[in-house]
Structure 1
Amino acid sequence: MGNQAKLWRKYKIENNVLNRKVVFCPRCGEGYVMAEHPDRFYCGNCHFTKFKTGEKKE
């Protein structure tokens, strides 16, 4: 069982509206959640990488 996705942490209900805290893959479509790394988002299905923009923390 070890390392599961824990999808309940990736959604939040506010004012009876479901808000997603995840980024979906633009190539694969909704349902394919991209993994969040410190500097990028990564899709394990199609291997698409989207880099985060902004200042680097040192």
Structure 2
Amino acid sequence: MVSRYKYYNVEGDKAVTDKKNCPRCGAGVYMAQHKDRVSCGKCGYTEFNN
């Protein structure tokens, strides 16, 4: 089982995520953070860092 603690941070009464949501897939689908880009594993959407 994957630990949820590496996906969320607890701030007061709320659980907040550091990861970006995919603009195509919507809320709940997070983008993977790579060294030079962020990408969605579901649809393949990619944004490159400057």
Asked if these proteins are the same fold (TM beyond 0.5), I'd say: yes
Q: Percent identity?
A: 38
Matches within 5 A, 1:28-47: 28-47=25-44
Q: TM-score, normalised by structure 1?
A: 0.70
Bigger relative contact order (CA 8 A; separation at least 6):
2
Larger Rg: 1
CA distance, structure 2, for counterparts of residue 19 and residue 25 of structure 1? 16
- Measured after TM superposition, the shift of residue 52 of structure 1 is 1.9
Q: CA RMSD in A?
A: 1.7
Structure 1: runs of 5+ lacking an equivalent: 54-58
